[in-house]
Structure 1
């Protein structure tokens, strides 16, 4: 079990995590969520031992191996399959020793251990992982140095997954993947046999691949059971109940205070007034929920709505070297207000197609017809290199509005999410999500008729992704998107185009149909979504038969039981010589108390959730 006991972490004077305790059981699959910059990656550093704690402790079983994605992509002349196989350090060392060992007993030990760790099937397992992440059989035999940085990061991910550590820590693993690779990773993590904690802003991954959610919010770690959708629903109910209780208490405090103020000077009411003063003093204040609203994203509307089609391709061939087209015989059209998602593995020509549409690439043959005065905005993550790191947000917008007064420039900065002093922040100090917001604002500055978005969700948190989806749906022009984020595609796209086999075809089906098709090709196992659907049905049916009143009664009974256990443990721990007389027993008691505290928190959460359901039913 991974035990995080009352930890506090401070970075550069800022307290990121304060007095937080969480227990992660062996085999748990945990989605780690929270706004960008709150300290999720910092906790990973602390778990790995790369960062000192200000207080508390992190206890990991001594035999557990910890694995996480390397910071740098592998490089060099070795083949991809070799790099991945070397990630199993024990297997690699045993095979090397087997080549030189002469002692019969040692040879027997080596071979026995190789059988125990299933070493001989390792090449097939490594190849399956690489295939799932998008590498063909020929690619797997090529050297790492032949691939770009993004593809080599996929190799690093493959190596980490192949090593199958006891505790797998993944920080935004889908940032380097296309949709097809993301679909495969979801299913792989859902079947991972050991403990995994994944930082992700991908809603679908958090619904398919994990069974627990760890939320870091305002310095506190809170542990939930279930998928992200379960967590989001429960948290919304909990916050609604909390808000109602806060309002009710404020009204009661006002009533008591009004009585005190009115009658404290009257002798006949003095005793009653004093009684209410004591009631006010005993009343434990309920803190108001601090609003942490995400800034909206808005795309300026085009000055003129063009007549359809705004773009048409007729039998077009395009590429980078004459005679070697990346796409061939492409025929398609784009109308006003179309929402098109491009599907297909990286390397099949999606970027080539969007460059053609954006008029950044000319066709070898065929006809391209554009509407008169068609304006196209093109956003891609690599455009971050076009930002001037030492200049502020205001400076970047000023360049596009050289004659405008300062008030209008700052108003425009506010429109893209940088109000007030935030507009004076230099680009170097912006987070990845803030840079993405700035790039989106600059790319769409003049109100285009068409927006092309190439992986726009990288570095955006879950709430910002929802804001982006809303902005796309409200935009009155056409949108073409390339994204590995299924939530964005499902929320916005009304057409799916598959870029494969040197052409572009319309996919006759929805994204779920496409997912099944990808999984049949990349992994013969039953996809996690179908398995989860069949497993969850009886559980949900049972839950529906339990009334809110019964749930409240059961939760109250559980709270009383656990409270009694904690009191007994505290009594034992209060003995003055317990830690010196029997340190092993003291450690076990401390561990038991932490587990009981977590169980108490879960029971209280169940009580709050059931109470909210009962109150909602009574008010209906």
Structure 2
């Protein structure tokens, strides 16, 4: 289905791919992994033809349809259901033609083709996908413009799935999903009949959905069989074996060089020494193992505070004073608590978090906080608030006005931003890198 051969791509003088090759057979599902910023999304753009490679080739099986989630989510007056149905362009075109065609033979052909593509079940299939992604029947009839950007991205995902392309490219498809929608998507993709390549950091998805892993590292693409856990085990064993072979080769090279140094000047051993020189020259060096740099960070332990940190007593919160989203809230949070907040779509999880972080205020009842409490807040769509023209160094310097530049750089370095990244425009960073910048 997909063949990548000798692919090289550079951007701004930086090499992202160099003589990289890999193949994905029809019907296979593979996860695409690699460190943030190494070029995973760029490879998708190359496959889609949005950008051109410097060298090498990418080929897709003839007459195959490639599908990916549109960058621009639907935002017009059409209903969610109609927006998803429109993704099947052949069905839409046939229905329009059926209304205007006058030739009996052509009308017959149109209806035959509509039957072939199972057009009459399309609304039910589209509705089922939307339901899986968290839209009830009433929501499906509402206009796309009624929903926020994150919800509209779910509609874009639903449209891509409904179109049922031969080759499906998904870039972090669970980013805008809650737990229930993520579980549904994993189940849906597991039974997907086409070819799938998915970029994801979701270990569960990469273990339950895919049958192979493509790893992007050191400008190359390497294919592994099985899910993510098997990939980790196989790769770890391969790296250990390569390290062992390299150690053995270095020892052998030293032994041969020692023989050459000892006997090259002796006439009786000169021929043997020369033979060893040739042997040494013929050895193919085994490259040293270079692991991806990992980002290791922790949250500093805060000073002890008097309990409770936060308490809610019969509280209500919402965006409209007349319509609370949550009410009758009673909650106590103490030092060392670790709490996961679960709930169905639209039940107010984000609203509660905004209340606890003082982005919303109680409409009734009481919220009390420990006197010296400070709250850190990281939201799903917070990366959208970063200035695309600013750099990580400028962004963090603005938040640390009294810190010298070396301290700011050190903080960025803890989160994987080396000298080559601190001056990069945020708009050119990957989604994962933007998230790390927010954590920094």
Report if TM-score (shorter chain) is over 0.5.
Answer: yes
Return 358-367 or 400-409, whichever deviates more.
Answer: 400-409
- In structure 2, the CA distance between the partners of 1:187 and 1:375, relative to structure 1 (3 Å rule), is same
Distance 1:238 1:67, change over 3 A: same
Offset at residue 390 of structure 1 (A): 5.3
Change (3 A) 1:106 1:401: closer
Q: CA deviation at 1:218?
A: 1.9
Question: CA separation in 1, counterparts of 2:12 and 2:407?
Answer: 36
Structure 1 pair 383/162, CA: closer, same or farther in 2 (3 Å)? closer
CA drift of 1:430 comes to 4.4
Give the drift of 1:256.
Answer: 1.5
Shift of 1:157: 1.0
Asked whether 1:314 is paired with 2:313, we answer yes
Residues of 2 paired with 1:3 and 1:387: CA distance?
36
> Which residue does the alignment assign to 1:252?
252
Q: CA deviation at 1:119?
A: 0.9
| Most deviating of 101-110 and 246-255 | 101-110
Name the SS of the counterpart of 1:198 in structure 2.
strand
Query: How far is 1:266 from its partner?
Result: 3.1
Structure 1 partner of 2:361: 362
- Say whether residues 1:380 and 2:364 are aligned partners: no
Q: Equivalent residue for 2:214?
A: 214
Q: How does 1:232-243 map to 2 (within 5 A)?
A: 232-243=232-243
In structure 1, the residue matched to 2:339 is 340
Alpha-carbon contact 2:37-2:433 (below 8 Å) kept = no
Bigger drift between 324-333 and 104-113 goes to 104-113
1:397 positional shift: 4.3
Q: Distance in 1 between matches of 2:405 and 2:15?
A: 36
Q: Which runs of 5+ in 1 are unaligned?
A: 442-620
CA deviation map 1:8-52 (0-9, x unaligned): 334444443333333322111111112223222232223223333
Check if 1:440 corresponds to 2:439.
yes
CA change 1:244–1:139 in 2 (3 A) is same
TM-score for the superposition, normalised by structure 1: 0.66
Task: Confirm or deny: 8 A CA contact 1:298 1:416 kept in the other structure.
Answer: no
RMSD between aligned alpha carbons?
2.5
Residues 387 and 159 (structure 1 numbering): CA distance in 2 closer, same or farther, change over 3 Å?
closer
Query: In the aligned structure 2, how far is the partner of 1:10 from the partner of 1:407?
Result: 30
Which residue number corresponds to residue 182 of structure 1?
A: 182
1:43-442 matches, within 5 Å, as: 43-302=43-302, 304-384=303-383, 387=386, 392-405=391-404, 407-418=406-417, 423=422, 427=426, 430-441=429-440
SS at match of 1:340: coil
Distance 2:95 2:144 in 1: 22
Q: Residue 271 of structure 2 aligns to a residue in which SS?
A: helix
Query: CA offsets, 1:148-175, max 9 Å, x none?
Result: 2221121111111101011111122222
Cα displacement string for residues 249-289 of structure 1 (whole angstroms, at most 9, x for unaligned residues): 11111122122223322334333332322221222110111
* Equivalent residue number for residue 7 of structure 2: 7
- Distance in 2 between the 1:287 and 1:314 partners? 63
Secondary structure of the residue aligned to 1:288 is coil
Looking at structure 1, the residues matched to 422 and 6 of structure 2 have their Cα atoms a distance apart, in angstroms, of 38
Task: After TM superposition, list the pairs within 5 Å mapping 1:453-532 onto structure 2.
Answer: none
Q: How far is the alpha carbon of 1:406 from its aligned partner?
A: 5.0
Name the structure 2 match of 1:28. Answer: 28
Deviation, 1:414, is 4.0
Contact 2:217/2:292 (<8 A) preserved: no
For 1:382 and 1:51, how far apart are their aligned partners in 2? 27
Count of equivalent residues: 440
Q: Does the C-alpha gap of structure 1 residues 72 and 19 become closer, same or farther in structure 2, counting only changes over 3 Å?
A: same
Deviation at 1:221, TM superposition (A): 1.8
Hey, what's the Cα distance between the residues in 2 that align with 1:152 and 1:115? Answer: 30
For 1:392 and 1:7, how far apart are their aligned partners in 2? Answer: 30
Aligned equivalents of 1:202 and 1:87: distance in 2? 27
Instruction: Work out whether residues 297 and 417 of structure 1, in 8 Å CA contact, stay in contact via their aligned partners in 2.
Output: no
C-alpha separation between the residues in 1 aligned to 2:298 and 2:268?
63
Aligned CA distance change for structure 1 residues 429 and 164 (closer, same or farther; 3 Å): closer
SS of the residue corresponding to residue 185 of structure 1 reads: helix
> What secondary structure, in the 3-state scheme, does the structure 2 residue paired with 1:237 have?
helix
Q: Residue by residue, what CA displacement relative to the aligned partner does 1:286-319 show, whole Å, maximum 9, x if unpaired?
A: 01112321232232221x2235432222322211
Please say if residues 318 and 324 of structure 2, whose CA atoms lie closer than 8 Å, have aligned partners that are also in contact: yes
Q: CA deviation at 1:409?
A: 4.6
Deviation at 1:403, TM superposition (A): 4.5
Partner of 1:470: none
CA contact (8 A) 2:32 2:199 kept: yes
Q: Deviations over 1:113-145 (max 9, x none)?
A: 222111111110000000011111001111111
Contact 2:35 2:292 in 1 (8 A): no
Q: Are the aligned partners of 1:381 and 1:436 in contact in 2 as well (CA < 8 Å)?
A: no
For residues 421-452 of structure 1, what are the alpha-carbon distances to aligned partners after superposition, in whole Å with 9 as ceiling and x for unaligned?
Answer: 755556555443333223222xxxxxxxxxxx
Distance in 2 separating the partners of 1:411 and 1:19: 34
Select the structure that is richer in helix.
1
Unaligned segments of structure 2, at least 5 residues: none
